[in-house]
Amino acid sequence: MREKDNPNLDKVPFRQYAALLSQYLKPQWFRVTLLAIFMFAGIGLNLVNPQIIRYFIDTARDGGAMRNLLIAGGIYLAIGFIRQLVMLVSSYLGQDVGWRATNQMREDLTDHCLHLDMSFHHEYTPGEMVERIDGDTTALSNFFSEFILQVIGSLIFLIGVLILVAREDWRIGVALTVFVIIAIWIYNLTRNIAVPVYTAEREGYARLFGFLEERLTGIEDFRTNGGVGYTMDRFYDVNRDVYGRAVKAHVWGEVLRTISGVLFALGHALTMGMGIYLYREGVFTIGTVFLVFSYTAMLRWPLMMISRQINDLQRATAGLKRIEMLYRTSSSIEDGTEDLPGSDALGIDFDHVTFSYTGEEVVLKDVSFQLSPGKSLGLLGRTGSGKTTITRLLFRFYDINQGQIRVGGKPIEKIQLEDLRSQIGMVTQDVQLFNATVRENLTLFDATIPDERILSVIAELELSDWYRSLPDGLDTFLEGSGLSAGEAQLLAFARVFLKDPRVVILDEPSSRLDPATEYRIDRAVQRLLRGRTSIIIAHRLGTVQQVDEVMILANGEIQEYGERQQLVSNPDSVFSGLLKTGLEEVTQ
């Protein structure tokens, strides 16, 4: 569900903030405690400084001893130095706490997204997810590191100032107290004004990033088909929308700051007027007038801090709502509780399986077949016939609508997902390469796989010459497009060898290899399939010559299924006809 479809998006209860703080700050209790100590120490130092200046002014005016003036000046300088040091440490601790908390949240969000259904990832573009996981959590950084301590510290500072001013004269103490109460009331009144605006701003950026990611991914198609102009027109529309949202959010931020500025001006005017009156009445000395005026000026800091924190909280609330929506999105695929049996090849059984991605158009209709352990199945059919869907269901990326799928004799929904997917390996025509080393690309960042095992697989795949051509061996850095299609396929085969699964799915990966490379890996593929159950999605005649069984799909239904030799020897079989007329006419 998109945010705009959620009627309760603008409501974030206080307990949700409290739960978030507890979850991500509790493990950092020591750093948070240090941060609190330094922040409150800074508050105390700020309250002491005007007292020293008042003493210095009155002592100088009354002709006091030079020694006392020098001591007061030295104490003032020392406090100023210590205060700067305290502020530096507080800033460091605040950033440290904030980034640790948001990094942990990014980790949790990434893990959550990786376990969501494929339907979720089809709905949201990678660009949108980057904005969710990075942009929204960054907006929460200040909330984690400073919000509670700054707000509490500001309130303590306000109370401290009001008490010290009231000690000088109750009338000015009451006046400033009324002023502060009115100011806080006004700030609280503006608490939720900008939340929808900031929410819309973050949503706009998410759409922009999603648009850019999608267009940059398909840049080759846009260029070759003359779509650059249309893409730029759409970019202008999306960017113009983001611009409007960002300007509106910025204007609201400036409105809040302007309100704060007006309040400070009124506070200064109030203090100046009452200070002059009390001085003429003989209640205040010059030093006391300066003291009260300084404290009033210092109210700017806590009120500004409260204003800034409310402003940041509004931004954080917008991010928190989107994050909370993401957390509330759960996978409909419930994990099983059972392990796969034994250590040998696994049998696969489809029993009257019917499946639809959307609930409307049926992709597989009453499909039934049994693939015994260690046997190989050649899967044929035109594009859209359901071949790839069968492999997705084996990984349990989706749950079927009707029927039963069994792997190793167990219903697939009862098998632990991690165990199921760890025992199925797949090689496709499109290989995802990462900006990482050869080692990391081969092991998919599994640091537990020793180099000896990697080199053994490379040798088994007869890739030693290719490996020796790498300038830095396994540490050679790949940049995604730095390999040919054939070399990328070789990496994919090596990944499956390292995974050592009990079921192997091949989506005609050798179709993109040159003849010499294809011949080199054919023998290695045979070794890979030996003793394993395998499904081969075939697009060429030569691919199905070695399989045990053949199944032909048409419009989501089994058109023909049986042992390959029997189908070859039967002149009336569809497969036999394909061998005579050419396989391509049914697979294209």
My answer on whether 158 and 301 are in the same domain is yes
Domain holding 303: CATH number? 1.20.1560.10
**All residues at 6 or more sequence positions from 227 whose CB lies less than 8 Å from its CB, including other chains:** 221
344, part of any domain: no
Listed residue (231, 329, 292, 284) closest to 50, CA to CA: 292
Model confidence pLDDT, tens digit, residues 432-489: 777 788 898 888 888 889 999 999 888 887 778 778 888 888 888 876 545 666 677 7
Residue 495 has pLDDT above 70, yes or no: yes
> What pLDDT score was predicted for residue 370?
93
Whole-prediction pTM value? Answer: 0.63
CA dist list (Å): 184 to 154, 191, 197: 11, 10, 22
Mean pLDDT of the chain: 80
**All residues at 6 or more sequence positions from 76 whose CB lies less than 8 Å from its CB, including other chains:** 49, 52, 53, 56
Listed residue (420, 323, 422) closest to 113, CA to CA: 323
391, part of any domain: no
389, part of any domain: no
My answer on whether 281 and 380 are in the same domain is no
How sure is the predictor about 45, in pLDDT bands with cuts at 50, 70 and 90?
confident
Residue 411 has pLDDT above 90, yes or no: yes
My answer on whether 323 and 380 are in the same domain is no
Model confidence pLDDT, tens digit, residues 229-286: 777 888 888 888 888 888 888 887 787 778 777 877 787 788 878 888 887 888 888 8
361, part of any domain: no
> Could you give the number of structural domains in the chain?
2
Q: Are 562 and 550 in contact (CB under 8 A)?
A: yes
Model confidence pLDDT, tens digit, residues 504-518: 998 866 655 666 666
My answer on whether 35 and 97 are in the same domain is yes
Q: Are 459 and 509 in contact (CB under 8 A)?
A: no
What is the C-alpha separation between 53 and 382, in angstroms, rounded?
A: 88
My answer on whether 253 and 118 are in the same domain is yes
My answer on whether 318 and 434 are in the same domain is no
Other C-beta atoms within 10 Å of 28: how many?
A: 19
> What pLDDT score was predicted for residue 533?
92
My answer on whether 65 and 170 are in the same domain is yes
My answer on whether 426 and 310 are in the same domain is no
Mean pLDDT, residues 212-238: 73
Residue 197 has pLDDT above 60, yes or no: yes
CA dist list (Å): 197 to 249, 308, 375: 6, 16, 60
My answer on whether 291 and 437 are in the same domain is no
365, part of any domain: no
My answer on whether 438 and 520 are in the same domain is yes
How sure is the predictor about 416, in pLDDT bands with cuts at 50, 70 and 90?
very high
My answer on whether 91 and 240 are in the same domain is yes
Q: What is the DSSP letter of 444?
A: T
C-alpha 499, offset from chain centre: 27
356, part of any domain: no
C-alpha 381, offset from chain centre: 38
My answer on whether 439 and 513 are in the same domain is yes
Mean pLDDT, residues 334-341: 86
369, part of any domain: no
Q: What is the CA radius of gyration of the chain?
A: 35
Mean pLDDT, residues 514-534: 74
Domain boundaries, position 160: 11-328
Domain holding 465: CATH number? 3.40.50.300
Mean pLDDT, residues 76-82: 90
Other C-beta atoms within 10 Å of 64: how many?
A: 14
Q: What are phi and psi of 538, to 5 degrees?
A: -105, 140
396, part of any domain: no
